Amino acid sequence: MIIEYLDEDGRKYIYDEAFLTGKKDIYLDDVKLEKIAKNKYKLPDSEEEVVVKGNFIFGVILQFNEDKQIPLLQNKSYEWVLLFLPIINIIIGVLGGPIGGALSGATMLISIVVNAFILRSNKSTALRVFGCIAMTLLILAVWFFGYLYLTDTLF
């Protein structure tokens, strides 16, 4: 997941986070910052440190010092709703007992991550909203038919 941001001074910030490993790379004006701790980076030509707060699901903020913060990614209110829309899957899944609850929890987490990727895409807002709703309904259908299959074959 790559996020690019251009501030009012014309400086270009690039945040690159690998999904599977969580490895983060920060670039300032196409120069890679040196990692000095888990979420701390150092500018190559100075001693100024940059602290990374957040991740690609909840938002990313670069903090240079107490005064300067760069919000690379902040969720809008509708994005929060769409990110956590799959929670309805847990509410329905609890009615299915332990099998339904476990299956709905797994499918809910998959849907939240996929919705985050959809919301971070460069598509239009309407297409992203439709994609998140469609993904939530698709995952709900997968849960439902998976639950029917598992309960029918196990019992």
User: Beta-carbon neighbour count of residue 52 at 10 Å?
Assistant: 20
Is the pLDDT assigned to residue 155 strictly greater than 70? no
pTM for the full predicted model = 0.65
- DSSP for 46-74 reads SS-EEEEEEETTTEEEEE-SSS-EEEEE-
Confidence grade of residue 13 (pLDDT, cut at 50, 70, 90): confident
CA distance 30 to 67: 24
CATH no. of 2-73 = 2.40.128
Give residue 66's Cα distance to chain centre: 26
- Of 14-18, 59-63, 107-111, 149-153, least confident by mean pLDDT is 149-153
Query: Do 118 and 101 meet the contact criterion of CB atoms below 8 Å apart?
Result: no
Confidence grade of residue 134 (pLDDT, cut at 50, 70, 90): very high
Q: Which DSSP helix (H) or strand (E) runs through 33?
A: none
Domain boundaries, the chain: 2-73, 77-154
